Amino acid sequence: MGGATTDLKLIDEKGLRIDGRRPDELRPLKIEAGVLKRADGSAYVEWGENKVLAAVYGPRECHPRHMQNPTRAIVQCNYNMASFSVSDRKRPGPDRRSQEISKILSEALEHVVLTHLFPRTSIDVYIEVLQANAGTRCAGLTAASVALADAGIPMRDLIASCAAGKVADTIVLDLRNEEDNFGSADVPLGLVPRTGEIVLLQMDGDLSVEEFKTALSMSTDACHRIYAIQKEALRKKYCVAPAVIPAEVANAIHDVATEKPQGSDVPPNEMPGNLKEGVQ
């Protein structure tokens, strides 16, 4: 970020980016809740070329004991990038970057989890980056909060996260690798959408105050869109979807159900509620 130069045209004559996106456009985002059987909660996020799994265990007794807090739970996040997640094989195991990301994500998640309900325990969140293309801390945080909700852990809200930055003098949303490497700023944001609280904000590179405000407003707006996708993923897993019945079949069922059977005292039936709701 900030120093490297490239022959790549990061913004073309039409104002579009190298992958054809408009400056304020997110990469395609898919979220699935509850993908792992043995974790207490989990989520899988595909965000552009990023593929990230989050798994939650706990609340469980905190070990080692000296880390226990008698008044609340601690959230221990472990961010890991797989060796095969980037084009050059990454040396396996923790490094300074993954330790830093684990720390800031733990702190962000502790703001929304009702930790006081579970004294002396630990809530462990594992974030595994299977494929990386910039924005993995945002994808990890977005996945982790869905995984916590999937684990049934009481929270004030989910956290939605997205970065904005500056590329070729243009403020852009959700930077991909080339933009991250050759752009001049990257500002990841973690937002509690219901309250507007910011629980993660970092800045790599330089922005003027006006540029910073534009970037923040762009990423805040994106976080609300991401929030809707997070909630939809949870709804998809937990709401019993009404049966979808073609309209003509539903009408036929309704006609039969409301006909008074000959010689019977049975009053005309209403169509069962779930069938009614299922009609689309």
Does 97 sit near ligand ADP (CB under 6 A)? yes
Does 13 sit near ligand ADP (CB under 6 A)? no
List the one residue from 86, 229, 253, 275 that touches ligand ADP (CB under 6 A): 86
247-252-254-259 Cα dihedral, nearest 10 degrees: 160
- Pair 215, 166: CB distance under 8 Å: yes
Task: Write down the least CB distance from residue 134 to ligand ADP, Å.
Answer: 4
Does 102 sit near ligand ADP (CB under 6 A)? no
Secondary structure of residue 92 in the 3-state scheme: coil
Q: How many C-beta atoms lie closer than 10 Å to residue 38's C-beta?
A: 7
* Stretch of 20-28, 82-90, 116-124, 252-260 lying at the interface with ligand ADP (CB under 6 A): 82-90
Does 90 sit near ligand ADP (CB under 6 A)? yes
Task: Write down the least CB distance from residue 132 to ligand ADP, Å.
Answer: 4
Nearest Cα residue to 73 out of 112, 117, 104, 107: 117
121-131/74-81 β-pairing: parallel
Size of the site for ligand ADP (CB under 6 A): 12
In sequence order, the 6+-apart residues with CB closer than 8 A to the CB of 118 are 58, 59, 72, 73
CB-nearer residue toward ligand ADP: 83 or 195: 83
Task: Write down the least CB distance from residue 128 to ligand ADP, Å.
Answer: 13
CB-nearer residue toward ligand ADP: 147 or 271: 147
Omega before 119 within 30 of 0, i.e. cis: no
CB-nearer residue toward ligand ADP: 11 or 86: 86
Footprint on this chain of ligand ADP (rule: CB under 6 A): 86, 88, 90, 97, 132-137, 177, 180
